[in-house]
């Protein structure tokens, strides 16, 4: 039987199957990118805590693979949109995937910044042990892991918890800033190292923000509603921001 465009049911089924195969492969490659980025975050933060120059430099080298995956995934997204013109849930998944790819690439860049700062810290006058940086590292690592797990399992409960946890990172960063300013005032020789540690804390905070972005996209993907900037409205609601794509931006 043919549809209005002269296409048989079997042809439509084959096209649909091909589309979902490509969509599945998109998710497989996205998870490969996510795994690489999560490892970069772990290595960069370990380099800071252990003042490991070699490990810090390694992060910058390994980020090249993340950039290559970003280009590949962007190309896959464009091809899916152009060739298949997906609707509803499929479109939402592709839009969310594109946003997660962007967040992961930026997360990798911030991990590189942390790794580079670790190599500088290792050569500076040592700072007294700062509990807040260790807490930030632990929480940020967990946020990244939980956000990615929430995306894989489409778990909105975990995703919302990541969003809530982001406030702890902001509080720790503010506390750390006060401590480091105090160190610099008391010991001018610590200024260089303290500034590097401030830079680390800023990048950790950005990584946490990006994990939050991914978690917000999980809620959008599953529920069709945006929770960004404190909003909580369904796709297409009058008080919303229009289409699902714009609501997720």
> For residues 146 and 184, what is the distance between their CA atoms, to the nearest angstrom?
35
Say how far residue 74 (Cα) sits from the centre of its chain.
15
Contact 126, 193 (CB under 8 A): yes
Say how far residue 187 (Cα) sits from the centre of its chain.
36
What is the CATH topology of the domain spanning 9-247? Methane Monooxygenase Hydroxylase; Chain G, domain 1 (1.20.58)
In the chain, which residues have pLDDT < 70? Answer: 1-15, 229-249
Task: Write the secondary structure of 37-67 as one string of H (helix), E (strand) and C (coil).
Answer: HHHHHHHHHHHHHHCCHHHHHHHHHHHHHHH
Q: Which two tokens stand for residue 177?
A: 């800033």
Give residue 12's pLDDT. Answer: 62
Give residue 1's pLDDT. Answer: 46
Residues 47-61 as b/e (b if ≥16 CB within 10 A, e otherwise) read bbeebbbebbbbbbe
Which residue in this structure is represented by tokens 């992060």?
59
**Secondary structure letter of residue 225 according to DSSP:** E
Give residue 246's pLDDT. Answer: 35
Q: What is the largest CA-CA distance in the chain?
A: 83
Where do the H-state alpha helices sit in 154-190? Answer: 156-186
Give residue 91's pLDDT. Answer: 85
Give residue 226's pLDDT. Answer: 80
Contact 114, 45 (CB under 8 A): yes
> For residues 54 and 47, what is the distance between their CA atoms, to the nearest angstrom?
8
For 29-57, what is each residue's pLDDT tens digit? Answer: 999 999 999 999 999 999 999 999 999 99
């Amino acid at each position: 039987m043919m549809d209005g465009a002269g296409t048989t049911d079997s042809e439509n089924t084959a096209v649909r199957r091909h589309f979902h195969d490509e969509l599945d492969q998109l998710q497989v490659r996205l998870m490969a990118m996510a795994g690489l980025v999560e490892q970069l975050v772990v290595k960069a933060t370990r380099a800071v805590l252990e003042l490991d120059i070699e490990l810090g430099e390694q992060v910058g080298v390994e980020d090249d693979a993340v950039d290559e995956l970003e280009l590949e995934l962007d190309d896959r997204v464009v091809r899916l949109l152009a060739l298949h013109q997906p609707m509803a849930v499929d479109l939402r998944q592709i839009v969310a995937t594109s946003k997660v790819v962007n967040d992961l690439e930026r997360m990798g860049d911030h991990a590189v910044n942390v790794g580079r700062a670790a190599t500088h810290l290792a050569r500076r006058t040592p700072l007294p042990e700062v509990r807040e940086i260790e807490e930030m590292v632990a929480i940020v690592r967990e946020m990244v892991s939980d956000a990615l797990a929430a995306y894989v399992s489409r778990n909105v409960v975990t995703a919302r918890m990541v969003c809530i946890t982001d406030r702890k990172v902001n509080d720790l960063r503010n506390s750390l800033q006060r401590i480091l300013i105090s160190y610099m005032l008391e010991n001018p020789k610590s200024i260089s190292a303290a500034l590097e540690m401030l830079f680390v804390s800023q990048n950790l905070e950005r990584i946490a923000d990006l994990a939050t972005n991914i978690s917000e996209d999980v809620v959008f993907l599953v529920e069709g509603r945006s929770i960004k900037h404190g909003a909580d409205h369904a796709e297409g609601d009058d008080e919303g921001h229009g289409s699902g794509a714009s609501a997720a931006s």
